[in-house]
């Protein structure tokens, strides 16, 4: 029998090194590595390389890099790593829609083998037959999983994959002489990239609001379609975790109007091996290999948004594509109808390799288990959270909840003044990441969206639910403890309003210095 102990990590405290930014460290002239002078013989063979750099490209003064010794650099980055909570370090249930799951270490080992890490994208195809085979076969797996006919792995992430699909929709209508079709329909609870990327591709974006049960308003769709409809780009299940079982009807309405339908399956965890984009009538889809297929997110990459299309859209896929002639694999660029490139070469190959290894280790039954276990986990967490005061479920009447649910702390906020942002700051005191609330706009008040994927054990889920239960109780008894959180973390609070103020952003150290100068002069 397990030891009876509190589920909460009451003694947790995050590392708080108060580490400066590396640009503020070190001293002038300090060096991490002293590069040895080249030997005379080498100099003779190589000659004067520097004089070949055109004068107008030469720096007149060296770049302002940090000047700092090696031990300090190592210490600095180890400290930073201690102040981060990654998926290998915490119960990452709070990051709903991100599909945080365990990335088996053996797959990481494979991806780091020199056979992979030393491949060059410009190598002759004769010398890379092995990896081309993996790419080709993995595309076959995804065809089986989705029903689509052909895949590309070129997009480096989900949004880029959706953008690729928007470009394919544009190319399809242009090829048919129907460029007046300039409207893409999406839904409010689809991922925001389903609105943002078609806008980038030049489309107008028409959004459908949810009906009273959280489903996209079908009547609004009927009112929205016209001769200007280029297509519909949606997720299902949506952000709320609600699966729309009538999705085929929506697809049919758009098809009748002459549009294409693109299925955002970045997160396919709840339906993997159970239902397919093809049978729902979609013309194209995409999967995030760094979500559903277990490759790590890697702090914004490298990722891969695998795009799949039906046979009648194959010719529009980005170049190059991998073809197999029965004996050899080929990298093919000559495709006159292609939308071109959205990124260079064949994509982030190590990501494809990890996903391939993950699928091979599971097999078809294992793939289906992933979906079933994640749905069971989600329902178990829902049951636990239904016993927590102050939590409500968005659209409680919607029956089909799959792998995640958008909850609301609205009742807690009404009764105690403690809202979702307060709880979000408080959870980190128990050694888990601050959670994901919702994409914008916040239609569900005081939202949060946990997603307990197949990775998490019953104990993990119990611990996570206990953290939320404890904080809810705290909100009723001593709300200020929650409002002033975190108490045990690396940093205390940040003013989130600056996130919306471009004047307060700095993408580089130089921009920071410039902007700080102007703040100072304005007396801010």
Partner 1 sequence: MKPVKKRIGLIVNPIAGIGGRVGLKGSDGREALRKARELGGKPESPKRAKEALLRMASIKHELDILTYPHEMGEDEARECGFEPIVIGSIKKGETTSEDTKSAARDMAEARVDALLFAGGDGTARDIYDAIGGRLPVIGIPAGVKIHSAVFAINAQSAGDLVMMFLREPAELWEAEVMDVDEEAFRRGLLSTKLYGYLKIPYQDRLFQGPKRGSIAGERSSMNGIAEYFAEEIEDDYLYIVGPGTTTRAIHERLGLPKTLLGVDVIRDRQIVASDVNENQILRLVCDKKAKILVTPIGGQGFIFGRGNQQISPDVIKKVGKEHVIVVATGHKMASLGGRPLLVDTGDDETDDMLSGYIRVITGYRQELVYRVGLGKCF
What angle separates helix 420-427 from helix 458-477, to the nearest 10 degrees?
Answer: 120
Distance, CA of 191 to chain centre: 11
Q: Could you say which DSSP state residue 26 is in?
A: B
Beta bridge partners of 261: 232
For residue 261, CA distances in Å to 220, 248, 316 come to 17, 10, 15
Closest approach of partner 1 to the CB of residue 496, in Å: 9
Q: Could you say which DSSP state residue 318 is in?
A: P
Closest approach of partner 1 to the CB of residue 110, in Å: 42
Rounded Cα–Cα distance for residues 187 and 233 (Å): 8
Phi and psi (nearest 5°) for 373? Answer: -65, -40
183/264 with CB nearer partner 1: 183
Closest approach of partner 1 to the CB of residue 282, in Å: 21
483/488 with CB nearer partner 1: 483
| Beta-carbon contacts of residue 297 (< 8 Å; ≥ 6 apart) | 87, 98, 100, 290, 291, 303
Q: Which of 111, 137, 120 is nearest to 322 (CA)?
A: 137
Place of tokens 């290998």: 88
Closest approach of partner 1 to the CB of residue 174, in Å: 18
Rounded Cα–Cα distance for residues 377 and 103 (Å): 18
Closest approach of partner 1 to the CB of residue 59, in Å: 36
86/445 with CB nearer partner 1: 445
Sign of CA dihedral 157, 159, 160, 165: positive
Closest approach of partner 1 to the CB of residue 336, in Å: 30
Phi and psi (nearest 5°) for 141? Answer: -60, -45
Closest approach of partner 1 to the CB of residue 169, in Å: 16
10 Å Cβ neighbour count for 226? Answer: 12
| Angle 234-360-453 from CA coordinates, rounded to 5° | 50
Rounded Cα–Cα distance for residues 150 and 310 (Å): 7
Backbone dihedral region of 450: left (phi > 0), alpha (psi from -120 to 50 degrees) or beta?
beta
Binding-site ranges for partner 1 (CB under 8 A): 195, 199, 203-210, 212, 217, 219-221, 223-224, 410, 414, 417, 419, 437, 440-446, 480, 495, 497, 499-502
325/495 with CB nearer partner 1: 495
Closest approach of partner 1 to the CB of residue 417, in Å: 6
Closest approach of partner 1 to the CB of residue 202, in Å: 9
């Amino acid at each position: 029998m397990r030891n009876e102990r509190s589920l909460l990590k009451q003694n947790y405290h995050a590392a708080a090194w108060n580490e400066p930014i590396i640009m503020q460290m070190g001293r002038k002239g300090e060096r991490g590595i002293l590069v040895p002078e080249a030997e005379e013989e080498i100099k003779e063979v190589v000659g004067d390389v520097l004089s070949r750099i055109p004068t107008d490209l030469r720096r007149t003064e060296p770049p302002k890099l940090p000047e700092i010794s090696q031990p300090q650099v190592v210490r600095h980055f180890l400290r930073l790593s201690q102040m981060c909570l990654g998926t290998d370090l915490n119960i990452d249930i709070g990051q709903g829609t991100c599909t945080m799951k365990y990335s088996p270490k053996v797959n990481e080992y494979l991806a780091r083998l020199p056979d992979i890490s030393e491949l060059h994208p410009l190598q002759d195809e004769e010398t890379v037959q092995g990896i081309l085979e993996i790419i080709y076969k993995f595309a076959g797996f995804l065809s089986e999983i989705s029903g689509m006919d052909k895949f590309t792995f070129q997009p480096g992430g989900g949004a880029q994959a959706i953008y690729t699909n928007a470009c394919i929709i544009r190319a399809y209508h242009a090829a048919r002489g129907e460029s007046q079709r300039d409207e893409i329909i999406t839904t409010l609870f689809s991922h925001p990239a389903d609105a943002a990327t078609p806008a980038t591709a030049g489309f107008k974006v028409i959004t459908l609001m949810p009906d009273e049960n959280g489903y996209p308003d079908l009547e609004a769709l009927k009112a929205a379609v016209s001769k200007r409809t280029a297509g519909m780009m949606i997720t299902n299940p949506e952000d709320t975790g609600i699966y729309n079982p009538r999705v085929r009807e929506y697809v049919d309405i758009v098809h009748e109007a002459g549009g294409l339908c693109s299925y955002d399956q970045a997160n396919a965890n709840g339906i993997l091996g159970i239902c397919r984009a093809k049978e729902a009538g979609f013309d194209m889809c995409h999967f995030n290999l760094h979500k559903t297929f277990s490759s790590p997110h890697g702090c914004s990459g490298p990722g891969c948004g695998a795009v799949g299309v039906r046979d009648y859209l194959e010719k529009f896929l980005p170049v190059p594509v991998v073809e197999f002639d029965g004996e050899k694999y080929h990298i093919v660029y000559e495709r006159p109808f292609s939308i071109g490139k959205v990124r260079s070469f064949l994509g982030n190959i190590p990501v494809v390799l990890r996903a391939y290894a993950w699928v091979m280790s599971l097999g078809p039954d294992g793939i289906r288990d992933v979906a079933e276990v994640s749905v069971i986990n989600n329902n178990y967490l829902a049951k636990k959270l239904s016993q927590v005061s102050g939590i409500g479920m968005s659209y409680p009447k919607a029956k089909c909840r799959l792998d995640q649910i958008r909850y609301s702390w609205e009742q807690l906020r009404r009764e105690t003044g403690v809202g979702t942002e307060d709880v979000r700051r408080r959870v980190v005191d128990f050694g888990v990441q601050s959670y994901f609330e919702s994409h914008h706009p916040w239609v569900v008040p005081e939202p949060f969206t946990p997603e307990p994927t197949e990775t998490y054990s019953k104990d993990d889920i119990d611990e996570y639910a206990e953290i939320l239960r404890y904080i809810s109780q705290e909100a009723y008894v001593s709300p200020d403890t929650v409002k002033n959180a975190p108490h045990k973390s690396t940093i205390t609070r940040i003013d989130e309003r600056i996130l919306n103020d471009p004047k307060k952003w700095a993408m580089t150290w130089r921009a920071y210095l410039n902007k700080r100068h102007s703040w100072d002069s304005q007396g801010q």
